[in-house]
Amino acid sequence: MLKFVEEIIFIFERLAWTSVFDIFLVTLIFFVLLVMIQGTKAMMLMRGMILLVVGLLVLTQIVNLPAFSWLVITAMPALLLAVPVIFTPEIRRGLERLGRTSGKTLLAKTSSTNIEERSVNIVHAIMTAIHRLSNRKHGALIVFQRNDLLNEYAETGVQMGARVTAEILLQIFYPNTPLHDGAVIIDREFVVAGSCVLPLSSSGVLNDSPDREMGLRHRASLGVSEESDALVVVVSEETGSISIAKGGQLDHGVSFEDLKNELRNYYNPELGQRSFMGFLKSLFLEEDADLHSQEGFEQ
């Protein structure tokens, strides 16, 4: 025990501020990587790889197996080279998120008051439509385009180019109408297209959760949020509940207050433009959201 304490003291005596900063950087990198793959199939793969490596190291240290130890040491570099191949989708999405924090975003300016007023009106119109769709249990799938273009998905549907209003959304998702069975893509003030086909989720998130029995709308919402930075809103046809998908994560049973906050963040010119510090903040902190009443949407 005394020897162990002496070794600890010896380590701390040699510890400089550069060493602390070095350890902090390595820890930060691993933390960001774990946050990126949290809730995806890559997390299960990472867990399996760690257990495999630890098990092999423990086995080779406990038992004297020269041939097996040689095989493990020889195969370890190949295993490290396989990591970028196994985690290619997650690495690509992470680099895309970094790429979106461009100099243009860093220098973005606040828009005019007229644009802010129009944004408030659009949010009110969307909330009114979603509230009525939820009460009537009319299924809906609405995709809000951000920095990533969704042209390939918009081309699968009917081009519209109409301004966003509650009446248009209610008419599109009215049961048995030509456009109700598909997604609507919205780019700020305009409904780009309706009845669009979206990619289904391939991450396996829903397979290991109570949401695994959800229908195609929820799987499609999760799929497009994995492929882009879009904000996706789903209204369940069975229960009328609201779900939000973004960044490859699906939040089920969202309240109207939380939905309104998400839409305000999307349409607000200041919050809609993500800075590099905002990107880092989004990895570690949840955005503060003010609670707002839904009385205006019950009309």
Closest CA to 297 of 117, 136, 124: 124
Mean per-residue pLDDT, 4-13: 73
In terms of domains, do 182 and 154 share one?
yes
pLDDT at 277: 45
Closest CA to 150 of 232, 206, 233: 232
pLDDT at 183: 96
With a cut of 90, say whether residue 137 has pLDDT above it: yes
Return the percentage of the chain with pLDDT > 90, whole number: 32
Q: Is residue 283 part of a domain?
A: yes
Rounded Cα distance between 138 and 131, Å, is: 10
Rounded Cα distance between 175 and 180, Å, is: 6
In terms of domains, do 151 and 197 share one?
yes
Amino acid identity of residue 153, one-letter, is Y
Domain that holds residue 31: 2-100
Within its chain, how far is the Cα of 175 from the centroid? 29
Continuous H helices in the chain: 2-13, 17-37, 41-62, 66-86, 88-100, 103-106, 113-136, 151-154, 166-172, 216-227, 256-267, 269-272, 276-284
Tokens of 43: 């997390």
Which residue did the predictor score with more confidence, 233 or 76?
Answer: 233
pTM above 0.75, yes or no: no
With a cut of 90, say whether residue 257 has pLDDT above it: yes
Tens of pLDDT, residue by residue over 162-181, are: 999 999 999 999 999 989 88
Mention every residue, 6+ apart, whose C-beta is less than 8 A from residue 214: 206, 252
In terms of domains, do 69 and 141 share one?
no
Query: Based on the structure, what is the number of domains in the chain?
Result: 2
pLDDT at 98: 61
Closest CA to 108 of 235, 276, 260, 299: 276
With a cut of 60, say whether residue 83 has pLDDT above it: yes
Mean pLDDT rounded to a whole number for the chain: 77
CB 208 within 8 A of CB 167: no
In terms of domains, do 75 and 158 share one?
no
In terms of domains, do 171 and 276 share one?
yes
Q: Is residue 105 part of a domain?
A: no
With a cut of 70, say whether residue 145 has pLDDT above it: yes
Closest CA to 139 of 108, 90, 113, 172: 172
Tens of pLDDT, residue by residue over 95-112, are: 665 665 544 444 444 445
In terms of domains, do 59 and 123 share one?
no
Closest CA to 186 of 202, 169, 199, 174: 169
Rounded Cα distance between 61 and 36, Å, is: 33
Domain harbouring 282, CATH code: 3.40.1700.10
pLDDT at 184: 97
Mean per-residue pLDDT, 196-204: 83
Closest CA to 228 of 245, 207, 251, 208: 245
CB 124 within 8 A of CB 177: no
